[in-house]
Amino acid sequence: MSGYTLTVHRRSGDTVTIDMKQDTSVTAVKNIKLSDIKPGSFIGTAATTGTDGKMTNANVDQVVTGTARAGVI
Q: Is pLDDT larger for residue 45 or for residue 7?
A: 7
**pLDDT value, residue 64:** 65
**pLDDT value, residue 25:** 76
User: Tell me: the pLDDT tens digits for 21-32?
Assistant: 888 877 777 788
- Counting the structural domains of the chain, the total is 1
Report the b/e string of 25-62 with b at 16+ CB within 10 A. Answer: eeeeeeeeeeeeeeeebbeeeeeeeeeeeeeeeeebeb
Tell me which residue range forms the domain holding 58: 5-72
User: Tell me: the pLDDT tens digits for 13-69?
Assistant: 899 999 988 888 777 777 888 888 888 888 888 888 989 999 888 777 776 655 444
**pLDDT value, residue 16:** 93
